[in-house]
Structure 1
Amino acid sequence: MKTVLASLLFLFAAEGPAHLDDPEQEARAQDLMREIRCVACENEPISNSGSDIAADMRERVRAMVSEGKSNEEIRAWFSERYGEFVLFRPSADGPGGWLLWGTPFVLLIAGGALVFAIRRRRDRSRETVEPVAPEEAG
């Protein structure tokens, strides 16, 4: 029993400081941790992930915040290291960013144009046909 308690104590001590001393810095770090994606979990922010790499990423965010780095510098560091994918809100700079942000709007406009064209074609094909009197039919 003592070995289990000692190993648990060692694990908690090995993680390092869980929070920054300055509440404003800790709040800023928490906001950043919600914006950065866990590379192991992929669709979970590092603030919620329990993976080892997410713990390392959280520690790195806190270290950079305590060093006085700006939010943009921290996002850029993670983006350079892990790629643009690591950010939940990637930048719109460059052709990849515009493609990422513009594609949904282009698809929406194209879908609306397609629906309009189909309805217009269907309406044109429905020409009114006048009924023929029985004496004219035969």
Structure 2
Amino acid sequence: MMLALVLAAALSDAPLQDADLEARAQLLMREIRCVSCENEPISQSASEIAGDMRHLVRKQIQDGASDVEVRSYFSERYGEFVLFRPKASGGGAFLWAFPFVLLAWGAGVLFMAIRARKKRNLAPLKPDMVADHENDTLD
């Protein structure tokens, strides 16, 4: 009984016979986040659930599912967080757009600050003002 369990565990993470399908599976496994490790793809995680997720990816690919269908399956089950590259719609659009919006906002603030500094009409210092200031600092 124990031998059967060990063999089943070893076979569940066995690569697919077709090299092209296994390559697709490996690419997908790098795009799907382990739900217990959070910042590690299932291709590198040693957790049990990552092994189960790898098995599901291989099984779905072997059954003829497309990459989009596999990603959709995992995002429906675990949420958009499970994908390293979330969809660019809904909440995913915010995640994709936020860095660019933040960059544009920072550039705008910098532009306005430079423009405001140039608009200041400061009168040039007169020589007697410089001398007075030097005397103040020496006292």
TM-score (norm. length: structure 2): 0.82
How far 1:123 sits from its partner (Å)? 2.9
Tell me the residue number matched to 1:102: 97
Please tell me whether residue 71 in structure 1 is matched to residue 67 in structure 2.
Answer: yes
How far 1:11 sits from its partner (Å)? 5.8
Query: Which digits, 9 at most, give the CA deviation of each residue in 1:38-85, with x for residues without a partner?
Result: 000011000000000000000000110110111110000000000011
Change (3 A) 1:46 1:133: closer
Distance 2:20 2:128 in 1: 87
AA paired with 2:126? P
Distance 1:132 1:70 in 2: 78
Distance 1:133 1:36 in 2: 71
Tell me the residue number matched to 2:136: none
Tell me the residue number matched to 1:113: 108
Please tell me whether residue 19 in structure 1 is matched to residue 19 in structure 2.
Answer: no
Distance 2:30 2:85 in 1: 11
TM-score (norm. length: structure 1): 0.82
In the alignment, structure 1 segments of 5+ residues that lack a partner are: 1-6
Query: Which digits, 9 at most, give the CA deviation of each residue in 1:12-41, with x for residues without a partner?
Result: 413124111111111111111001000000
- Name the SS of the counterpart of 1:57 in structure 2: helix
How far 1:93 sits from its partner (Å)? 2.0
Tell me the residue number matched to 2:85: 89
Aligned length: 128
